[in-house]
Structure 1
Amino acid sequence: MDEATIAPAIVRMSYPALFRSMLRDERFLRVWISQAHDQKNKVHEMTEFSGIEKLLALEEIKLLKARRDRAVDTKDWDLYLSLHAPDHVSHNDGYERWNNAQEMISNVKKLLDETKISVHHSHTPEITFESPVKAKGIWAMEDNIFWKQGDEDHWLHGFGFYHETYEKRDGKWLFTSRQLKRTHVLTSAGTKGVLQP
């Protein structure tokens, strides 16, 4: 039983007079019917999404993530951009929100320019499907970034989790949002604000 039917059922059993008055409230009925209808559509969508289709979609999203990590570390910015929906939104710890894919890639290219070497690893995905064409995921991550300040070698070693959403558009899975939540960061002594866009 879903939320749209559980709450009214509890009220009906525990407070019958209150439930009868709720049924006379036109606003309550509209909301209740709408929620029940939305839930029914969602269940219908997911029952049409077979186990094999779900496994294939899962593998496609994993490939999407692998290509993203490779693209950023090899500085293949055309590939990187192609993996994101135009309306992609990014909001990472320590940075302002980037409201579209062009704004995101402009900032990432500045952060990880030719003076820096980056190594990104993403692990242990938790992918859940909202529908056959919408999903969200959490990935454990680790990154290493290396650069020089004058003649000195410097580095950053970060840990955390990517929180992402994906949509299948025109037959292709794309990133629609990403938020990096760091849990720990190590840096070399004397590191200055090198990762500011």
Structure 2
Amino acid sequence: MAELADQETMIRVMMDIEAIKKLKHKFYRCLDNKLWDDITECLTENVTASFYGGKFKFEGVDALMRFLKEGLIPARISVHHGHHPEIEITGDTTATGIWSVQTYVIDRQANISLSGMSLFHDEYVKEEGEWKIKSTACGRIYEEVWDRGEIKSLKLTQAKEFESPDGQCRG
């Protein structure tokens, strides 16, 4: 009987880890597509965030969302790829995670591009059966910025809408 309980626990832990991966992927997808209302679904109301070694700190979902919206103005195209998650379930409703995140940003207003790599340290909490980001802290490994005007052959083509495999347009 103990073996069955152990298997059920292992399955629950694996399902929780997968749910946290989906949460983080949703966060980045919504961030890059500027789906601000959908991002808030990923966060606790009292979320805390610290970026670039504490240079930028925020408490609460409203403060964090204000920062994200101001940073990702319409003239900026971003891509965030979260890789190699190290997720640990620390309790029935708590977990931690470390993510390697590759970032690429095109700023059409300033005519620059940025490429960078960061490590994110997150805390998660399960609220009403759903995992949410309770805190996130980002430390930059590297950041490279260049002037897009200096590259003579550079051409940017951006789709107005992304069409998914199911034929539905995603803005």
- TM-score normalised by the chain length of structure 1: 0.69
Q: CA RMSD in A?
A: 1.8
Are 1:137 and 2:94 matched, yes or no? Answer: no
SS at match of 1:50: helix
Count of residues in correspondence between the two structures: 142
Shift of 1:158: 0.7
Output the amino acid matched with 1:61: I
Q: Deviations over 1:66-110 (max 9, x none)?
A: 100100000000000111000000000163310111100011000
What is the alpha-carbon distance in structure 2 between the residues aligned to residue 174 and residue 49 of structure 1? Answer: 23
Q: 2:41 aligns with which of 51, 61, 82?
A: 82
For 2:152, the equivalent position in structure 1 comes to: none
**Is the Cα contact below 8 Å between 1:87 and 1:176 reproduced in 2?**
yes
Residue 33 of structure 1: aligned partner: none
Secondary structure of 2:74's partner? coil
CA distance in 2, matches of 1:164, 1:73: 19
Corresponding position: 1:166 with 2:115: no
The 1:170–1:48 alpha-carbon spacing in structure 2 relative to 1, beyond 3 Å, is farther
Alpha-carbon distance in structure 2 between the residues aligned to 1:110 and 1:160: 20
Alignment of 1:8-157 (within 5 A): 50-93=9-52, 95-149=55-109, 153-157=111-115
Identity score, percent: 26
In the aligned structure 1, how far is the partner of 2:89 from the partner of 2:20? 11
1:1-36 deviations in Å (ceiling 9; x for gaps): xxxxxxxxxxxxxxxxxxxxxxxxxxxxxxxxxxxx
Larger fraction in strand: 2
Q: Secondary structure at the match of 1:131?
A: coil
Q: Give the helix-richer structure, 1 or 2.
A: 1
| Structure 2 contact 75–109 (Cα < 8 Å) conserved | no
| Structure 2: unaligned runs, 5 residues or longer | 1-5, 149-171
| Greater C-alpha radius of gyration | 1
Report the alpha carbon displacement of residue 132 of structure 1 after superposing the two structures with TM. Answer: 1.5
Secondary structure at 1:91's aligned position in 2? Answer: strand
- Residue aligning to 2:158: none
Deviations 1:143-187 (A, max 9, x none): 00101346xx31110101110000001111000000111110000
Classify the secondary structure of the residue corresponding to 1:176.
strand
Q: Which runs of 4+ in 1 moved over 6 A?
A: none
Question: Is 1:188 aligned with 2:146?
Answer: yes
